[in-house]
Amino acid sequence: MSGNYEDIGSFDTQEEINQWAARNNIDRRDISIQQGRKLRVAISRDTTNLSDQELRESRRNGFF
């Protein structure tokens, strides 16, 4: 992922991404999805004021 995006991780389905975004109050317009064997997700850094550590751990634990 390039630009001002932070890699979040991989998901198996689009539905998992939608659930993750809804659970963490993330607007779908603020994430980038790359498709391969799994769907890779990155979030715009401008969207959140979370630290790098919090962003990396959000995939495992959720933001809150």
Give the Å distances, CA to CA, from 4 to 19, 38, 42: 23, 22, 9
Residue 15 is predicted with a pLDDT of: 93
32 by DSSP, 3-state: which?
Answer: strand
Between residues 3 and 29, which one has the greater pLDDT? 29
pLDDT tens for each residue of 44-58: 877 665 565 555 566
pLDDT tens for each residue of 20-45: 889 888 888 888 888 888 888 887 87
Give the Å distances, CA to CA, from 10 to 16, 17: 10, 9
Identify the band that residue 13 occupies on the pLDDT scale cut at 50, 70 and 90: very high
- Count CB neighbours of 33 within 10 A: 13
Model pTM above 0.85: no
Pairing of strands 31-35, 5-11: unpaired
Residue 28 is predicted with a pLDDT of: 84
Q: What residue segments make up the domains of the chain, in order of their start?
A: 5-49
